[in-house]
Structure 1
Amino acid sequence: MKKKFFSVRQLSKLLFTTLLLSAGLSSGSNLLLQDNQIIHAETLDNAIANETSQRTLTIWKYAITDFSQLEPRGDGTVTNPSRELIPGIQFKVERVNKINGGASLTDPKVQTLGTDYEIDSTFTAQTITTDSTGKAILDLGTGRANDGIYLVTELPDNRTGADLAATDGKKIETPVYPFFVYIPQTSRSDLSSLIYDVQVEPKNILEDLLHPDKTINDKKGDSVQAGQTFRWELTTNLPAGLWQIASQTGTIDILDETGNAVDSVEMVAGQPIVYRNGSNLVQPNFSMVDELNSDLTYIPDSAKMQVRQAGGEWIDLASEDYTVSFESSTNTVTTTLTEAGLSKVGSVANGYTDIRTLLSTHVPEGWNNIVENTFTVNHQIPGQRPKSTTPPETTNPKYYTGGFDIEKMEENSEEGLAGAEFKLAISESNANNKIFIASNGNSYAEDANLPTGVTFLTTTSDENGHATFDGLALDWTDANDNNYVENGEVSRDYWVVETTAPQGYELLKEAQRVTVDLTTADDATIELTVLNRPQTSLPFTGGTGRTALISVALIAIVAGATVSFLYKKWKQA
């Protein structure tokens, strides 16, 4: 056989090629030789990148409700998961170069700009936006000119109009973390082939649009007599993913208020996604905070939490499902779900959609005013920022009472009369039948035995003839019968009965109706003026005729007694 000899020049070329390949292996760089040119490819085992294929980066933007819905990591092809697509989301795409001596570029969370990589200034950064189908495409052209490693950064969600309406007004809670993409990319299933149209499917959690609402006695406005207990209801829909079971193993960030990662937590497939400080659960968390108006007094141990399914009846949570705390210095009531409560309330299997806190308060007896109150829902889920949500100020519920003034005057002199006592009835019929309102808001007959500690509402005119009834319940009427409005009709009619007149004066003979509203408690206006007439001078009983009759009677009595005495003495003789 004829032997083939290599020339010195051929041996030099072979040695140079071998050395270059060895350098590529030792450094981990993605270099190959073709026609004495350096070309880009992802790994040494890849097929040679051609000059004819179209290079594109295609991003599909999907929405998920929580991390338990994450699918396995993408492989550069389209999987088209059954998820909601999000239009109008922008991505910044930059090409980067690995810095010699730096780590291999796999994850921007791990590798550092300036240490492991730098931005390639020869490539102009591009911004692409997902269209109405939730897809964004970056066309890099044909050939190897733009092959390389790209850094993709999701920009903040600034959608408006139709793009925002496509997700029912919900914006992205937290953008996906930046990621590297090789273009072209080695096929994950066939290491001998390249993908020129790399498909990426980042998934985002949409923000929870909580709709907290507060009511009083299940209405937006209500009134009970001052001093009596009334209830507040703090209600909201439940945030999605309050209790998540990981679908796969991985790591998620723990974020602060600004969205910066302060820690991380390992997800374990099949286990709850939780973040702990030692044995104490930190995230997820859920609480409802009610900083009560200073005029309100919290009824101790009155707070409790309830849940319901959509349109269903409210169900009490067990005592171990939540805690209640009251801070007297700030007049604040806080209810917080425990770990047992979070797992129960957040369980998809239980199907709960709403949660509320009930608590009771009262105002001082005789209090006149309008008091409105709001509350805050606080919650945080691992991988999301902490959130605080408060109902719109225009929806604050209102508690209110009213009062009125009485002026007791002498009929002609217009001087005030002291000592007139008045009671109050809820209707004219009650007034006529002496059924009066008591301090507990109920009505009783005047001669009834009242419950312990209960007295009739009574006022007595002072030396100037002035008397007041305060803290009275009012009726609220509005066209939509669901929202309290300042200019709505808020009033109630009461009947005043004078039960004791001043010395020397006649009682008022008829009950007097007074319409009480939100303005009548103002002492500048007298709602009821009561004129008392002096008692008439009736004739003295008796006279001269009567005196004579009395004298004759006395004489007859004496004479009769004398005759009886003398008769008895005669019989004894």
Structure 2
Amino acid sequence: MKFTKKNILAQATVAATLFTAVGTLPFGQAVVTQAEEVGQVTSANPTADTTSKRSISIWKYQVRDASELGERGEGSYETVDKDVIPGIKFKVQRVLAVGDVSLTNPREQKLETEYTIDSEYAEQIITTDVNGKAYLDLGIGRTNDGIYLVTELTDDRTDLTATAGKRVETPADPFFVHVPQTSRTDLSSLIYDVQVQPKNILESLVNPDKTINNLKGDSVHAGQEFQWELAAKVPAGLWQIAAQDGTIDVYDAQGNIVRTSDMVKGEPIVIRDATGLLQPNFSMTDQLDNQLIYKKDSAKVQVKAGETGTWTDLESTDYTVSFDEATNTLKTTLTEAGLVKVGTASNGFTDIRTVLTTTVKENWNGILDNNFTINYQIPGQKPKTVTPPEENKPKYYTGGFDIEKTAEDTKAVLADAEFMIAFTLEDAEAEKFIASDGKAYDKGATLPDGVHFLVAKSDANGRAEFDGLALDWKDANADGLVQEDEVSRKYWVVETKAPEGYELLKAPVSVTVNLTTEKNDSVELDIVDKPKTDLPFTGGQGTTLLVAIALGAITIGTVAISVDKKRRQA
């Protein structure tokens, strides 16, 4: 028999309700068999004896989805090739039927109406051990013979190592156990150690995660495009084929069981309503910050296989995209074709994501973050809503700074000074300046259409400002998350036009921009211009005029003498 845990299933979802078991062992048989090894006690005598020990043994296993639940158990032990779940608690109570009611299923039969709790028996709590087994010893003889109600309790384990961090979200349905129980295969035999093997589907750790440009924090110049990624693990059982005929529960949006639905062996497990496909379903919703501008038709859904796989676009028929401008909300939803493609295990897809492109307005300063929500439902399970932890939200950020222009001589503020900025000192000295697309160009270059150099001009108050600048994230504490005090970048400022009567600043000056430099009215850079000097005189204007008049008179006299001489000769 298999007690050692195998590799925990990579993907699993909420809890199942069926339990299975096979194989019986005649009581008193001399040969040690598998049933004896697990404590199975049976008897070929149809009359309950007074010498056999009575007990209930519960074995807890995990499965991937409803297709692996198997058939209902028979009260005897079978080897199950599944991973066990230790630490699960069960409450055991003895019950009494009301009147002539035959107790078969506590889900269908009501407490107090059709059965009551036997106060003569103290309820017991038993817990599965490292082998996934919970055992209740009811003693020898007929004293504790009767019908027992077994209820699986909510998974409250503090150590989830054995199930890779996953819990049982929905316990198995309660069930009645007759002790001793008539053998399901030999109706003339009794089972004194009743073995039940409920199976659970664990919660699916879809691990939702949001990034910006595939990072937890990034910055591009305001007005330029940047991408958000909404990623998750593909839920197990998103698209299942029934391994056997049976029924599964149908849950509404509030998680209430409203009916059951048939499973047909070899057919997809799909529950439909009047509108078509109801379960399974899968969608991602992102309510964007109101400062973000969604680029129309940019959203798409991608999948990949394994951690080293490459993200691949799904076909447009595999999903739908809706965008609500009033709430700035984007939603992508897998179609039935997408559910089949993504959820079919043989396709190997392990991860799914939505990518979308946004911008902020040019010159916008600040820090933005927003989360997203995954909604999905697997047939036979409650609907799930999953959101990444708030502290893991990615952040987009830009910054700005102010310049004050003053005169050295009068200390007054100066208007009409113009400035440009560069990424480095070398760029500044080479007149290679930053443009509105966040790139650097030579000052005399022809810029791309719609692109212009960033130029700040001092106003009547001597103020000039640069805003929406991309910043760097250092992540000094290596926590993978953006902290405001870890964001900054150095820029170099060049005065490219001086106010009338003043000298240009002769060398670039640096300024460090962070997320606080634009939040107050302080000046990050004070640039002082020297007044123009008075150069020596180069000659008076009156002397120049006299010289010109004299030269003109000489010219006129020379011409007159020449004309008179020619007249006399004639």
Scaled by the length of structure 2, what TM-score is found?
0.87
Counterpart residue type for residue 294 of structure 2: Y
Please list the CA deviations of residues 80-139 of structure 1 after superposition, one character each: whole Å capped at 9, or x if unmatched.
21111111212122233333353x332222333344333334333322221221111222
Deviations along 1:499-554, one digit per CA (max 9) or x if unpaired, are 22212222222222212122222443222111122222334544366455434432
Structure-to-structure mapping, 1:159-558, within 5 angstroms:
159-161=157-159, 164-256=160-252, 259-310=255-306, 311-479=308-476, 483-486=480-483, 488-543=485-540, 546-547=544-545, 549-558=547-556
Which residue does the alignment assign to 1:98? 97
**1:2-26 Cα deviation digits (max 9, x unpaired):** xxxxxxxxxxxxxxxxxxxxxxxxx
Q: Secondary structure at the match of 2:163?
A: coil
SS in 1 for 2:91: strand
Q: Does the CA contact (< 8 Å) of 1:216 and 1:399 recur in 2?
A: yes
Partners in 1 of 2:328 and 2:220 — Cα distance?
Answer: 21
The one-letter code matched in structure 2 to 1:51 is: T
Question: Of residues 143, 146, 171 in structure 2, which corresponds to 1:145?
Answer: 143
The answer on whether the counterparts of 2:409 and 2:531 sit within 8 Å (CA) in structure 1 is no
- The CA distance in 1 between the partners of 2:245 and 2:110, in whole Å, is 24
Distance (whole Å) between structure 2 residues aligned to residue 522 and residue 129 of structure 1: 58
Tell me the distance in 1 between the aligned counterparts of 2:406 and 2:358: 39
Aligned length: 525
Q: 1:81 is matched with which residue?
A: 80
In 2 relative to 1, CA 154–259 (structure 1 residues): closer, same or farther, beyond 3 Å? farther
Q: Secondary structure at the match of 1:494?
A: strand
Instruction: Please give the residue correspondences for 1:13-24 in structure 2 after superposition, counting only pairs within 5 Å.
Output: none
- 1:288 Cα deviation after fit: 1.4
Match in the other structure for 2:127: 129
Q: CA deviation at 1:473?
A: 0.7
Compared CA separation, residues 50 and 258, structure 1 to 2 (3 A) = farther
Which range is displaced more, 93-102 or 395-404?
93-102
Q: How far did residue 472 of structure 1 move? A: 0.7
- What SS does the corresponding residue of 1:352 show, helix, strand or coil? coil
SS of 1:166's equivalent in the other structure is: helix
| Structure 1 range deviating more: 215-224 or 188-197 | 188-197
C-alpha separation between the residues in 2 aligned to 1:441 and 1:482? 28
Q: Per-residue deviation at 1:452?
A: 2.2
In structure 1, C-alpha distance between the alignment counterparts of 2:73 and 2:342, rounded to whole Å: 32
Return the alpha-carbon distance in structure 1 between the equivalents of residues 463 and 484 of structure 2: 29
1:135-162 CA distance string (max 9 Å, x none):
112222233333332221111111223x
SS across alignment from 2:340: helix
* 1:322-372 deviations in Å (ceiling 9; x for gaps): 111112222211111111111111111011111111111111111111112
Larger radius of gyration: 1
Instruction: Give the Cα–Cα distance (whole angstroms) in 1 for the partners of residues 524 and 108 of structure 2.
Output: 77
Deviates more, 1:513-522 or 1:460-469: 513-522
Q: Is the 8 A contact 1:438 1:456 kept in 2?
A: yes
SS in 2 for 1:400: strand
Mapped contact 2:400–2:517 kept (Cα < 8 A): yes
Calculate the aligned-residue CA RMSD, in Å.
Answer: 2.2
Deviation at 1:442, TM superposition (A): 1.8
Q: Distance in 2 between matches of 1:398 and 1:125?
A: 53
The letter of the residue matching 2:66 is: F
Indicate the residue corresponding to 2:38 in structure 1: none
User: For the residues of structure 2 that align with 1:567 and 1:67, how far apart are their CA atoms?
Assistant: 130
Partner amino acid, structure 2, of 1:437? I
Question: CA separation in 2, counterparts of 1:531 and 1:417?
Answer: 9
C-alpha distance in 2, partners of 1:133/1:484?
A: 40
Distance, in Å, in 2 between the alignment partners of 1:555 and 1:318 is: 93
Cα distance, 1:417 vs structure 2: 0.7
Tell whether the 8 Å contact from 1:173 to 1:204 is kept in structure 2 after alignment: no
Matches of 1:296 and 1:413, distance apart in 2: 45
1:158 equivalenced with 2:137 (yes/no): no
Q: What is the distance in 1 between the residues matched to 2:416 and 2:316?
A: 54
Q: Which runs of 5+ in 2 are unaligned?
A: 1-43
Distance 1:261 1:512 in 2: 70
Check the 8 A contact 1:58/1:200 in 2, yes or no. Answer: yes
1:267-298 per-position Cα deviation (integer Å, ceiling 9, x unaligned): 11111222211242122121112121222121
CA contact (8 A) 1:212 1:235 kept: yes
Between the aligned partners of 1:428 and 1:355, the Cα distance in structure 2 is 44
Q: Does the CA-based 8 Å contact 2:216-2:482 persist in structure 1?
A: no
Report the CA distance between 1:482 and its aligned residue.
Answer: 6.7
2:394–2:482 Cα contact (<8 Å) kept: no
C-alpha distance in 2, partners of 1:568/1:356?
104
1:550 is paired with a residue whose SS is helix
Higher mean displacement: 179-188 or 352-361: 179-188
Which residue type is aligned with residue 565 of structure 1? V
The worse-fitting range, judged by mean Cα deviation, of 206-215 and 349-358 is 206-215
Name the residue aligned to 2:51: 52
Contact 2:284 2:331 in 1 (8 A): yes
Distance 1:154 1:327 in 2: 43
SS in 1 for 2:354: strand
- What is the alpha-carbon distance in structure 1 between the residues aligned to residue 546 and residue 156 of structure 2? 112
Amino acid at match of 2:387: T
Once residues 178 and 67 of structure 2 are traced to their aligned partners in structure 1, the CA distance between those partners, rounded to angstroms, is 28
**Structure 1 pair 557–238 and aligned structure 2 pair: CA distance change class (3 A):** same
Alpha-carbon distance in structure 2 between the residues aligned to 1:236 and 1:182: 45
Give the fraction of aligned pairs with identical amino acids, expressed as a percent: 57
Q: Distance in 1 between matches of 2:481 and 2:77?
A: 53
**CA distance, structure 2, for counterparts of residue 121 and residue 534 of structure 1:** 102
Structure 1 partner of 2:20? none
Once the two structures are TM-superposed, the CA of residue 169 in structure 1 deviates from its matched residue by 2.5
2:105 to 104, 107, 110: 107
Report if the CA contact (8 A) 1:95-1:123 is conserved: yes
> Structure 1: how far apart are the matches of 2:168 and 2:519?
52
